[in-house]
């Protein structure tokens, strides 16, 4: 099961992409209440959105983003039936991707 939920909406001259990513997004500065130790950093480093084999957004992220982040943006182009692929990689080397079709 993918960690990414995608919703696409087509407008007259743009496509709205909304996504929710299930990820802990730990900063590395929080102390575990039970052990007293720092919780290791674990956050998404890079988020990529691809439409028709062309990267329309490449986001370099840091640790300051909340857990289970929500992102939304628009890009010009996109027709019904086109595929949008979203992928991420985190600072542990874990990655995931998902695709959606523009309605």
Residue-wise pLDDT tens digits, 27-67: 999 999 999 999 999 999 999 999 999 999 999 999 889 99
Instruction: Please check whether residue 6 is in contact with residue 19, taking contact to mean a CB–CB distance below 8 angstroms.
Output: yes
For residue 4, how many other CB atoms are within 10 A of its CB?
Answer: 19
Looking at residue 1, what is its pLDDT? 75
Helix, strand and coil percent figures for the chain, each rounded to 5: 0, 50, 50
Question: What class, spelled out in words, does domain 4-27+38-101 have in CATH?
Answer: mainly beta
* Residues 64-85, mean pLDDT to the nearest whole number: 95
Distance of CA 47 to the CA centre of its chain: 5
Residue-wise pLDDT tens digits, 8-31: 999 999 999 999 999 999 999 999
Q: Which pTM value belongs to this model?
A: 0.91
């Amino acid at each position: 099961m993918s960690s990414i939920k995608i919703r696409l909406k087509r407008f007259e001259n743009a496509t709205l992409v909304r996504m929710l990513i299930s990820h802990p997004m730990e900063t590395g500065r929080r102390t575990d209440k039970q052990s007293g130790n720092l919780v290791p950093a674990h956050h998404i480093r890079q988020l990529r959105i691809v439409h028709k084999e062309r990267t329309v957004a490449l986001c370099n992220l840091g640790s300051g983003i909340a857990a289970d982040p929500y992102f939304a943006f628009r890009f010009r182009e996109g027709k019904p039936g086109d595929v949008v692929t979203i992928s991420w990689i985190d600072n542990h080397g874990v990655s995931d991707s998902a695709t959606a079709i523009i309605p």
